[in-house]
Amino acid sequence: MRKVHSFCRWRCLVKVCFFFCVLVSLSPLIYRRVSIFSYNYKQQKRMPNFTCPSTRKTIAEDVLCLERKTFLKNFKNPCWLQKETHGVNSSYKNGVLRCLPYFHLFGVCKSGTTDLFSRLTQHPQILENLGDLHKETTFWSWGRYGKNGHPGHANVKETLYNFTQFFNAEKIGETQLLLEDMTEYSNVITGHADPMDFWDHSDWREIPQNDPTADVPKFITPHLVKHV
C-alpha cells in the first residue's frame, strides 16, 4: 500500500511540474495576447474621427453618417417617432413609433446566448424581438451586406430601417405607467443577441470610413452600434 501511495504522489508531482513548465513556456505568448486584447479594447472604446458625407461609396448603408435619433424621454427603451412615407398606420399623431434594442448580447456561437436571452425575456418588462429564435436579426454582420437568409430578404442589403422592424415598437408603446406627475412612461425594453457580431467582421472593408487597402479596420460593428 505504501508503494502505491508513493507512486501516486510521484505521478501527481510529475503532472504538476509538467503543467507548470508548459505554463511558464507559454506565458510570453499569453501575455502578448492579453496585451494586444487590452490595447484593442481601449482603442475601440474611443470613436475614431471621421467626416460626413463619406468620400467612398460601398454596398452597405453608411450608418456612421446617419443622423442620430432623438429618443423619447417617456420611454426607457430607445424609441422615437418617425415620419413615414410608406403609408404605415400608426396610433401616434406625429409619426410611427420606431425602436432600437435597449441591450445587445455579444457572444460566440454555442456559448449560451440563446439560453441567457430566453431567461432574460421571462421578465415581464423584457420583450423578445421578431428575429430568428426571437433574438437574432443577423443585421449588423450579415444583413446589411446582403448575406442573410430571411424570407423575402435573401441577398437584399438591409438598412437600419429594416433593422428597426425586428423590434415590436407598438408592444413597447402599449405598456404605459403613470408617474407621480401624471405623465405616461413605458418601462418595457427589448434586446438583441447575434453571436456573429462578436466574431464576424469579414466585411469591414464595406464600411465607407475604412481604408479598403489597409490590413486592419479602423471601424467595426461596435462603432456602428455605438453611433446609432
What pLDDT is recorded for position 156? 75
d(CA 103, CA 192): 6
The one-letter amino acid at 51? T
| Closest C-alpha among 221, 217, 219, 214 to residue 200 | 221
Question: What is the chain's percent helix, strand, coil content, to nearest 5?
Answer: 35, 10, 50
Q: Which three cell numbers stand for residue 5?
A: 501511495
Burial of 105 (0-12, 13-18, 19+ CB in 10 A): buried
Amino acid occupying residue 169: A
Q: What is the 3-state secondary structure (H, E, C) of 27-92?
A: HHHHHHHHHHHHHHHHHHHCCCCCCCCCCCCCCCCCHHHCCCCCCCCCECCCEEEECCCCCCCCCC
Question: What pLDDT sits at residue 49?
Answer: 83
pLDDT value of residue 43: 52
The predicted pLDDT at position 39 comes to 46
Q: pLDDT 10s per residue in the chain (228 long)? A: 555 455 556 666 655 555 555 445 545 544 454 444 444 545 555 678 888 888 888 989 999 999 999 999 999 999 999 886 555 555 666 789 999 999 999 888 888 889 999 999 999 999 999 999 999 999 999 999 988 755 555 567 899 999 999 999 999 988 778 777 778 899 999 999 999 999 999 999 999 999 999 999 999 999 999 999
